[in-house]
Amino acid sequence: MSIKKGKRPAARIPAAQRKAAIVEAAMKLFARQGFHGTTTKDLARAAGVSEALIFSHFPTKEALYQNVQFLCLEAESQAQALLHPRKAGTEALVIAVQTLVFEIFESFAGKERSELLRRLQTHSMLEDGQFAAAFFDAHLRPWFPYILECISASRKAGDLTSKDIPDQNLIWFVHHLPMMVRLSTLPETRTAYKESGRLVEQMCLFCLRGLGMKEAAVQRFYNPDLFKGAKQKRLPSP
């Protein structure tokens, strides 16, 4: 008498991997529908899990929403590697501007992920703004003291002309330009920029000159090849 062999049970997915898959699915859904337009049932269906499993990893939908922001932060390690060992000054200011513009428009984590983050932030600002505010507070504002120090040092060195604009606003303006250009080039709109392959370089130069940086300093410190090959060096998506 032969004994029938039963089917092997499906391999159990590790909890950390399952949690990452839920966050990944949630990011795409929140980006498409917004926070208030997404239900936990939608999230469960998109992630291929039960609502109960989602709540076993995240106590609330808000907690899951906040976890989404950490998928797009390869720029932090890039910025730290470039700027932390560098004394505040004109060169560091130029690199900070280039890093900010490149990350927002191209993204070290990939353009698809950058697009999702822009959509998330836009939905947030059209709703209650909490996600966008939390993201900026956690990942942009901590750099303000250093960048403000760079602006001050550059001004003292004579590389930056005085402006009747608060220095903090200068940083926000540098942030907002690539963000709005990125939004305007999402698939639905396709704004027809000239020389679109050089938009990062053009925005960097526009921002540096908008900060009041003298042309001699721009020519001395701006390196258009600073992030050349960055797309090939990206970390795999989680």
pLDDT digit string, tens, across residues 92-142:
999 999 988 988 888 766 667 667 777 777 877 887 777 777 778 777 888
Residue 176 maps to a domain = yes
Task: Please tell me the distance from the alpha carbon of residue 21 to that of residue 37, in angstroms, as a whole number.
Answer: 20
Residue 236 maps to a domain = no
92 and 178 together in one domain:
yes
Mean pLDDT for all residues in the chain: 80
- Nearest CA to 28 out of 84, 86, 72 is that of 72
pLDDT digit string, tens, across residues 177-195:
998 888 787 765 566 788 8
The count of domains in the chain is 2
In Å, how far are 43, 45, 207, 234 from 97, measured between CA atoms?
36, 40, 7, 20
pLDDT digit string, tens, across residues 25-78:
888 888 778 777 888 888 888 888 888 888 888 888 878 877 776 665 555 566
162 and 96 together in one domain:
yes
Residue range(s) defining the domain that contains residue 45: 15-69
Residue 200 maps to a domain = yes
81 and 62 together in one domain:
no
94 and 168 together in one domain:
yes
Q: Is the pTM of this model over 0.75?
A: no
- Whether residue 152 has pLDDT greater than 50: yes
**Contact assessment for residue 204 and residue 97, using Cβ atoms and an 8 Å cutoff:** yes
29 and 83 together in one domain:
no
Residue with the larger pLDDT of the pair 49 and 174: 174
58 and 126 together in one domain:
no
113 and 211 together in one domain:
yes
